[in-house]
Every structure is written in C-alpha cells, then in structure tokens.
Amino acid sequence: MSRVQVPGSGHGVIDDLQGLLLATLVSSMGLAILAHDNLLVGGMAGLSLLLHYQFDWPFSLVFVLGNLPFYWLSIRRMGWEFTLKTFLAVAACGALTDLLPQWIDITFSGDSALMSAVIGGCLTGLGILFFIRHRASLGGIGILAIYLQQSRGWNAGVFQLVYDLLLMAVALLVLPASNVAYSVIGAVLIGIVLGFNHRPGRYHGRC
C-alpha cells in the first residue's frame, strides 16, 4: 500500500526532538492566543475549540479524543513514525494550550480580537509548518482529506476548505459574528504561512 511522503525524513533524533518541542511550543502559544478571544482555526483544533467554548470542556481532552478515530488512517497512509509523532504532538499541544494561560498573561491593547487573530494565526501556522518538517502534524481532518484523495479521488484541499467553511458556519450558532470573522482572518494567515513556506524545494530536511 502506498504511503504519503512527508518532508523532513533527513532529520536525526536530536533534530526531531528539538523541532517537535519547538513546534509544540509555537503551536500551543498560537492556539492559546486565539482561545483568549474565543476565536477558531480550521481542522480538528477548530472543532475542539468550538466544543470547548460551548460546553466548557477542556480543550486538551476534546482535542485528543477527537483525533483518535483518525490514527488508523494515519498508520495506513503515513506509517507508524508519522502517526506516533502526531499522537504525541496532539497530546502535548492540547495540554500546553490549556496550561499556558495559567502561566502567562495573554493581553493585547486596542482591538484584542484582531491582534489575537493575526498573532495567533501566524504562530499556529509556523507551528504546523515545523510539525510537517519533522514528519508530524496536528492530526484530524488533514489525515482524512489525504485518505479520501487517495482512496476516492477527492481533492484534499477542496475537502479541507469545505470542512472549514462548514465549521465557521456552525460557529455562528455559538459565537458572535465578529468572532467568526476574526477567526477567518486567522485561518487565512495560517494558510498564507504554509503556502509560502511549505513548497517543494523550499526545504530539504538536511543539516
């Protein structure tokens, strides 16, 4: 069975360790900043944040449990290394996102929501980029999109876009329209960070 080739396979253990730790810290900081103003991102992280806002469930618990059904797809399509790293990344990022607001004061002056969307979106995008470069991800919908593309010929990018649009539409039932609008800004910035930096030939995964 063919597997998706994920960039970054040239890293050693120490390189992977520091890269994944940095990715966890940066992603968690971005998500914590977004959560400070009740904003969303796309994918499973966005759904987990929405459930956290609506039911006051711990983000880490929802994020970890929500990703569990996708790991068997990850094993089949990405392999054990990618799946194990992703499982650890999701658990660590979820826990740290909950803990960071207890350790630091996330406060912006002026239009706080706009600043949260910009800074949180950019940091989350960088964190996801770091994960990709070290053969990991934040799991969830991206894995399902790849599976559907390979098994049924669906376009992975279009699938993720449709999912994110539906998520933002559902969010209007829970959050003010302004929060959803700022969330879209953050999601667009994540896409821009990944679009500019995650391209063939931009990074070879070798020191």
CB proximity list for 154: less than 8 A, separation 6 or greater: 145, 148
> Which tokens hold the place of 195?
């679009």
> What does pTM read for this prediction?
0.86
Q: What is the pLDDT of residue 110?
A: 64
State the pLDDT at residue 4.
45
Q: Domain limits of the chain? A: 13-104+111-196
Return averaged pLDDT per consecutive 10 residues of the chain, 207 residues in all. Answer: 45 82 95 95 94 95 94 87 92 95 80 90 92 85 82 81 92 96 93 75 46
Q: What is the C-alpha separation between 48 and 58, in angstroms, rounded?
A: 9
Q: How far apart are CA 97 and CA 138, in angstroms?
A: 13
